[in-house]
Structures are given as C-alpha cells and as structure tokens.
Amino acid sequence: MRCCFIILFLLCSQAAMCQSLAELEKQLDSLLRKREKSELIIGVGYGNSPAYGKKTTTYETPVIMKPFLSPTLSYYHKSGLFASASSYYLFEAIGKPWFEWDLSIGYDYSKNRKFLTGISYTRYIFTDSSDIPVTPINNELFAYFYYRDWWLQPGISLDLGWGSAQETLAGGRLSRNLSGTDFNIVGAVRHPFIFLDVLKHDDAVLLTPSIGVTAGTANYYSNLKAFQYMSRSPKLHSEWNRNPPGGDRPPTADAVRSFLSSSTKTGFEMRAVDVTLNASYVIGKVTISPSYTVFKPFQGEDKSLIGYFTARLGLTFK
C-alpha cells in the first residue's frame, strides 16, 4: 500500500510543467485521424514553487521550494481554439495562499498529417503575496511547430514574456517599478510511440522521448514555458538571495543605490540541453501524463546534471 501511495504521489507532483493534454490529444488524433468533438478538461496537480522561507524578507532570506495545489479548467474546441484557467494554492504560506491565476487562450492546428503547430497567449495574475519573489513577467506569447512526417520529428518553439511589477524595500518605504522582457527559443527532436488497447479495450499509452536545446535570456524568474528547466537552477536562487525585494530595516545609502540599479539581466545565450521522456495513459475520460527530464545548464554556478519528475491528471468531458 505504501508503494502504491508513493507512485500516486509522484504521478501528481509538479503538474504545471509536464506534457500538456492538448498535445497528447493532437498526437493521438494523428494516429486515429479523428477529432470530432469539443472537450472540457478538469485537471488538478501538485507541485512546487519558489517562495521565501521566512516571514520577514531581509537580505539573507532564503528562497526555498514550497508545495502547491493547482486546479485547472480547459476547453478545447474541435476547430482548434482553446481557453484555460488555472489557480495555485500554496501550502505552508506566510501570506495569501492563493498566490497566482493563469488565463490562456490560443489556437492549435493538428489536422495536417505532416505538421503540428499552434500559438497561445497567457496572462499571469499574481497576488500581493509575501511568499513569492516579484517578477515583472506577467504576459507570455508562445508559438510552436513540429514536423511529424519523419520518424524523428523536429520542432521549434518561440517564447516571449513581458510585463511590469512594483518592487518594494524596507517595509514599503522604498519602491520601484520593474519592467522587462525575456525571449527564448527551444529546438527539439522527438518520436512518439503509441500503443492501443494495452490494459483494456479503448485505452492508449503514448511514450515520447525527446532531446531539446534552450537558448535565450534569463533576466527574471518567470513561469514561461521555456523556463521549465532554468527555474530550477541554483543561479536564480542565489540571485534572489543577493537581491531580495524586501527588508525590515532602514536602508543605507548604498542599499538604496543597489536597489535602484541592481540587475540580473543576461544576454541571449545557450541556456540548457535536456533529455525528456513523456508518458501518457488514457483510459476512458481519465488521462495521466507523467514525465521525467534530465537537463544540463550551460550558465550559472552549478552546471551539473539535474533531473526532475512532473505529471498531470485530467478528466475529460466531450
């Protein structure tokens, strides 16, 4: 029983970063040659988010990973249009536990046998939470293209984030407006293996190994899709620790100058290479999509290999 509980826990962990249900459905469509109905998908996930480890944010306040619960509601029209809404509840929260809402709209084109493409816009809404590091990146425009007529399917993704936010110091006695952008390109090669009627009639298993390379900027922490690896880099944690957005003591003149001029901006450069295995199991209305990634960052203080597990659980209504 304990083993089963651990496996179930892993399948539900860090749901925000794994292979999307929409991508799974489009890949199954390419095999079955059908997409006849629109779909409403209810999902829930359990994951981790960077958060401050103490109630008072000082210059030495650590940034740690805290667990969150993420319910999601998505609607996919048979034409390819879709919309989704997600919220995030932070466990062990110091401030407001509901710290983020994501609203997305987009279009996916999967009716051509030779290629798969799509574009989406996401608006990130953050509460004034003392737990979560401030980021100005609250808008995302994401586009992707996969050529799937070859055994090895090459693909490319473009990821642009922008926005603004207010950052405070010394209990609100100092503040500044942050604005910025991040842009990333992800190139990948993959091959999906699809197995039908594995455990029972009308179920399916999809296994998709892939190799990807990410290049771009890493000016700010964000939820951008291209940051699924870099957000776990110790470099970002060390930057937050050196330049936290708060403090409970009167700032010195040097601290004020540092606060007003500090920047962690980077140039456009190779950021990481990764190897990922996505696995999805569909049985009736239920879809489980675990994934495991090993990646090597090219930038930052720690360039060693890092691995992590993610998953998504969803219920589909047609």
Q: Read off the pLDDT of each residue in 60-71 and give the average, rounded to a whole number.
A: 73
Q: Three-state DSSP class for 255? A: helix
Residue 162 has a pLDDT of 94
Residue 60 has a pLDDT of 53
Handedness of CA 144, 29, 196, 193 (dihedral sign): negative
Q: How far apart are the C-alpha atoms of 158 and 47, rounded to whole Å?
A: 25
H runs (alpha helix) in 16-63: 21-32
Q: How far apart are the C-alpha atoms of 75 and 103, rounded to whole Å?
A: 12
Q: Are the C-beta atoms of 76 and 25 separated by less than 8 Å? A: yes
| 202 CA to centre of own chain | 30
Would you kindly state where each structural domain of the chain is located, as residue ranges? 2-317
Whether 82 has a pLDDT exceeding 90, the answer reads yes
pLDDT bin (cut points 50, 70, 90) of residue 87 is: very high
Residue 13 has a pLDDT of 36
Q: How far apart are the C-alpha atoms of 84 and 312, rounded to whole Å?
A: 15
> How many C-beta atoms surround the C-beta of residue 312 within 10 A?
28
Whether 219 has a pLDDT exceeding 80, the answer reads no
Question: Which pair of structure tokens corresponds to residue 235?
Answer: 């470099």
Q: How far apart are the C-alpha atoms of 178 and 161, rounded to whole Å?
A: 14
Q: Read off the pLDDT of each residue in 286-299 and give the average, rounded to a whole number.
A: 83
Output the furthest CA–CA distance in the chain (Å, rounded): 71
- Residues 163-208 have pLDDT tens digits of 987 766 555 566 777 788 999 999 999 998 888 888 888 788 889 9
Whether 250 has a pLDDT exceeding 70, the answer reads no
Q: How far apart are the C-alpha atoms of 16 and 23, rounded to whole Å?
A: 14
Q: Provide the Cα torsion 311, 205, 283, 82; round to 10°.
A: 60
Return the CATH fold of 2-317.
Porin (2.40.160)
Of 77 and 12, the one with more pLDDT: 77
- pTM (2 d.p.): 0.78
Q: Read off the pLDDT of each residue in 3-14 and give the average, rounded to a whole number.
A: 33
Q: Are the C-beta atoms of 180 and 137 separated by less than 8 Å? A: yes
